[in-house]
Amino acid sequence: MGVDYYALELDLTDDGPNIQEVLAELTGQRTVPNVFVNGTHVGGYDKTFQAYKSGSLQNLLEDRIDDTEVYDYDLIVIGGGSGGLACSKEAASLGKKVMVLDYVVPTPSGTSWGLGGTCVNVGCIPKKLMHQAALLGQALQDSRKFGWECDEQVKHNWDTMVEAIQNYIGSLNWGYRVSLREKTVTYLNAYAEFIEPHKIKATNRKRQETFHTAQTFVLATGERPRYLGIPGDKEYCITSDDLFSLPYCPGKTLIVGASYVALECAGFLAGIGLDVTVMVRSILLRGFDQEMAERAGAYMETHGVKFIRKFVPTQIERLEEGMPGRLKVVAQSTEGPEIVEGEYNTVLIAIGRDACTRNIGLDKIGVKINEKNGKIPVNDEEQTNVPHVYAIGDILDGKLELTPVAIQAGKLLARRLFGGSFEKCDYVNVPTTVFTPLEYGCCGLPEERAIGEYGKESIEVYHTLFWPLEWTVPGRDNNTCYAKIICNKHDKNRVLGFHVLGPNAGEITQGFGAAIKCGLTKELLDETIGIHPTCAEVFTTLEVSKSSGKDITQAGC
């Protein structure tokens, strides 16, 4: 190109190693060549060659500034979870210069984790694996009825399970780092805060600060568990952030909360043989279909999980230190002066999650948040009130807190920003599943909301109880698994809501989620021939409506 350049050979300067350290902190790049043009960091060999091919290298050399200022990056993503990683990788694959920052503030107990966000480290992944551990325990019991002869009492080893799960999570953390490097996304393990509209300060765990600018920002900082705000909560209690890597078996556990986190944790802890109590302030699974929530809860109760309903803890005291120790919990009724006390080895708080939006400098740049819950209102293109700042994932106000939603939103956002696409994320009819001991899968509206939106006379609910074939031989609960669909009478009996309580509910629901996207109706379901013998086939032969009042108790096949 005939351009003069200055080359500083780091292996030939005394200060080389120091310079290399500083370069790494400034740019996230440890290797050489590390290229700067007119003060702007370009990157290593690959990025420089890419800039040469795309013409931006020439722009930099000629100090050519069009309407836009020259920023360090095209895109900075704050948060390396499901949404953040999907968005940054997509933007990089579209040829953009991207940085992603991820930082885990340790829990009060000191727990921390690697790249990947909540889902991978302290959410969906370890949850489902522990749920599986519990299901296998049940399967071992059932197996005797099928002829497997096992004399010994089967016990569960907490440490073995946690080690195996953490090992798998470690490989995922590593996999994400390799993936980001391969896609030339710059990754910084640092806490990001806005200091100016296009500039952030990044602080790593050694408290070193670096500064970075970008044309566009995406907030994907996710949430953390909320505490009770009573004496002893942060000092003695744990949350889901701590549970999945707990270096000792939690023992006799009290779970405070009625969220799906609370019920799922209670479920698998009881499933591996622990003494579990759930303390619920009011209703189970707020926001979900309440009939289904109560049925899921009832199953847990008949299978050994104790419920203390309409109480809230007021005080946690430590009686004995240890791993686990012994804690005393005092709780107050929500309906009167009654007090209950209990002793537990572990208290797990699962009353909700708060968005990580309060301490990242959003006030400095004018991004509006919902003061009540800290979440960020966005338009249907995930744009905040500040045009160059977007947000995705759990922190969105009024949107679903699910990994696949964040991933989809992140990918589509990147494609709209940099790929010339116009496709927006569809938040309607997203299927989901609660992995309680008896799983609950759903897509569409809860019955209460369908009644509220369409009116009771406009909807027809078809339902049935069913007995999975695999449960017959071991003599497991009959008339417990339940299926229902909610249909719109004024629109060809279009399925507005799909609900199933039974084994493998997630696997069952996924397909119906696609069918609902295609406009599934009761007639189409009836025309579909079932697969026999399965649980899912009940949806192809639903006959009894709630309005008819007919009995759905099963006598047997």
Partner 1 sequence: MGWEEKAVRGYSEFVQAAEQSRGRPVFALFCGDKDAQGRSWCPDCVTAEPVVRCELNSMPDGSVFIYCQVGDRPYWKDPNNEFRKKLKLTAVPTLLKYGTPQKLVEEECLNRELVHMLFTED
> What is the number of other CB atoms lying within 10 angstroms of the CB of residue 477?
13
Task: Give me the least distance between CB of 277 and partner 1, in Å please.
Answer: 35
Is cis: bond before 324, omega within 30 of 0?
A: yes
Annotated ligand binding at 261? The verdict is yes
Cβ proximity to partner 1, 166 vs 540, nearer residue = 166
Annotated ligand binding at 25? The verdict is no
| Beta carbons within 8 Å of 363's beta carbon, 6+ residues apart | none
Annotated ligand binding at 421? The verdict is no
Annotated ligand binding at 264? The verdict is yes
Give residues in contact with partner 1 (CB under 8 A): 30-31, 44, 167-168, 170-171, 173-174, 177-178, 181-182
Distances from the Cα of 5 to the Cα of 2, 31, 37, 52, 77, angstroms: 9, 19, 9, 15, 32
Annotated ligand binding at 259? The verdict is yes
Task: Give me the least distance between CB of 167 and partner 1, in Å please.
Answer: 6
H-helix segments, 103-157: 117-122, 124-145
Cβ proximity to partner 1, 14 vs 152, nearer residue = 14
Is cis: bond before 33, omega within 30 of 0?
A: yes
Annotated ligand binding at 175? The verdict is no
CA angle 283, 289, 295 (to 5 degrees): 70
Annotated ligand binding at 298? The verdict is no
Beta bridge partners of 396: 376
- State the Cα–Cα distance between residues 542 and 506, nearest whole angstrom: 20
Task: Give me the least distance between CB of 180 and partner 1, in Å please.
Answer: 10
- State the Cα–Cα distance between residues 510 and 498, nearest whole angstrom: 11
Cα of 277 vs its chain's centroid, Å: 24
SS (H, E, C) 161-177: HHHHHHHHHHHHHHHHH
Annotated ligand binding at 328? The verdict is no
| Exposure b/e, 401-422, CB count within 10 A at least 16 = b | bbbebbbbbbbbbbbbbbbeee
**Residue located via tokens 């949850």:** 127
Cβ proximity to partner 1, 15 vs 182, nearer residue = 182
Q: Which amino acid is at 468?
A: P
326-333 and 339-344 strand pairing = antiparallel
Task: Give me the least distance between CB of 182 and partner 1, in Å please.
Answer: 7
Cβ proximity to partner 1, 25 vs 397, nearer residue = 25
E-strand stretches of 321-400: 326-333, 339-344, 346-349, 353-355, 389-391
> What is the number of other CB atoms lying within 10 angstroms of the CB of residue 169?
21
Task: Give me the least distance between CB of 173 and partner 1, in Å please.
Answer: 8
**Residue located via tokens 């599943």:** 433
Cβ proximity to partner 1, 112 vs 359, nearer residue = 112
| Contact call for residues 315 and 236 (beta carbons, < 8 A) | no
Please say if 463 is a catalytic residue. no
Annotated ligand binding at 417? The verdict is no
Cβ proximity to partner 1, 119 vs 450, nearer residue = 119
Cβ proximity to partner 1, 189 vs 315, nearer residue = 189
Task: Give me the least distance between CB of 30 and partner 1, in Å please.
Answer: 6
Torsion over CA: 408, 132, 291, 259 (sign) = negative
What are the binding residues for FAD?
128, 394
What are the binding residues for NAD(+)?
257-264, 352
What are the binding residues?
128, 257-264, 352, 394
- Enumerate the active-site residues: 532
